């Protein structure tokens, strides 16, 4: 298992500077991480710095609450594609999901998928705020809307990825889409456990520690 290829090397801090993002990109290039996961204002500069490296860019939109207008999320997605992103991580409308408004949730996700054609979209469910039934519905809604991944967490709420949630998401989506575990993954042991539970990708700011073993 080449664990580096699972990692979205992450810096989503509000106080991240351009120097921080450049360092993140250079670390991702050095270690062969899958992508860097960043806020949208850094996408264009990251695309330039990573050109030809084989490292992708996961731009986070509707982040971290997911509660903005669908049109705003779609605009962010289109801008991210124009700026050179290779993947998009979007936050689901959590309140609508909890309330059972699946039609809204599907439309919200589909608007992002359609605004950035050809760009894989990862849907962040924020599992720590959901029960198992809501997680299952969130997965089904994401698949119905054309998402490429379902993702556990933003890392900004009250909890991160758990093995239970990853396994539940994997069993729900099967091979119809992929699963990303994010939030609270600090070392190689935790990372491998998430992969064994069914994660295809890991979002973490501890990528260097993980590859160091």
Helix, strand or coil, per DSSP, at residue 118: coil
CA dist 142 to 63, 65, 129, 191, 210, Å?
17, 17, 17, 24, 29
DSSP bridge pairs for 178: 149
Query: How does pLDDT run across 177-187, given as a tens digit for each residue?
Result: 999 999 999 99
Q: Do the beta carbons of residue 168 and residue 132 sit within 8 Å? A: yes
Query: How does pLDDT run across 33-80, given as a tens digit for each residue?
Result: 999 999 999 999 999 999 999 999 999 999 999 999 999 999 999 999
Rounded (10°) CA dihedral 157, 158, 162, 166? -30
Say if domain 3-211 classifies as CATH 3.40.50.1970.
no
Domain residue spans in the chain?
3-211
**What is the pTM (predicted TM-score) of this model?**
0.97
* Burial label, 2 (beta-carbon count in 10 A; 0-12, 13-18, 19+): exposed
Query: How does pLDDT run across 115-167, given as a tens digit for each residue?
Result: 999 999 999 999 999 999 999 999 999 999 999 999 999 999 999 999 999 99
| Catalytic residue list | 89, 151, 180
């Amino acid at each position: 298992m080449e664990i580096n290829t699972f990692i979205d090397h992450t810096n989503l801090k509000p106080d991240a500077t351009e120097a921080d993002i450049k360092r993140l990109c250079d670390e991702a290039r050095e270690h062969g991480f899958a992508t860097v996961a960043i806020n949208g204002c850094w996408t264009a500069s990251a695309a330039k710095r990573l050109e030809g490296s084989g490292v992708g860019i996961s731009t986070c939109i509707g982040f971290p609450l997911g509660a903005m207008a669908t049109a705003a999320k779609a605009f962010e997605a289109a801008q991210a594609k124009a700026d050179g992103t290779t993947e998009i991580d979007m936050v689901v409308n959590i309140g609508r999901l909890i309330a059972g408004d699946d039609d809204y949730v599907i439309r919200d996700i589909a608007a992002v998928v359609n605004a950035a054609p050809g760009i894989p979209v990862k849907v962040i469910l924020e599992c720590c705020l959901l029960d198992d039934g809501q997680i299952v519905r969130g997965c089904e809604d994401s698949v119905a809307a054309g998402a490429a991944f379902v993702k556990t967490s933003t890392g900004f709420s009250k909890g991160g990825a758990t093995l239970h949630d990853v396994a539940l998401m994997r069993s729900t989506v099967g091979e119809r889409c992929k699963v990303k575990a994010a939030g609270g993954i600090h070392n190689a042991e935790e990372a491998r456990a998430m992969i064994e539970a069914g994660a295809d990708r890991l979002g973490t700011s501890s990528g260097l520690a993980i590859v160091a073993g």
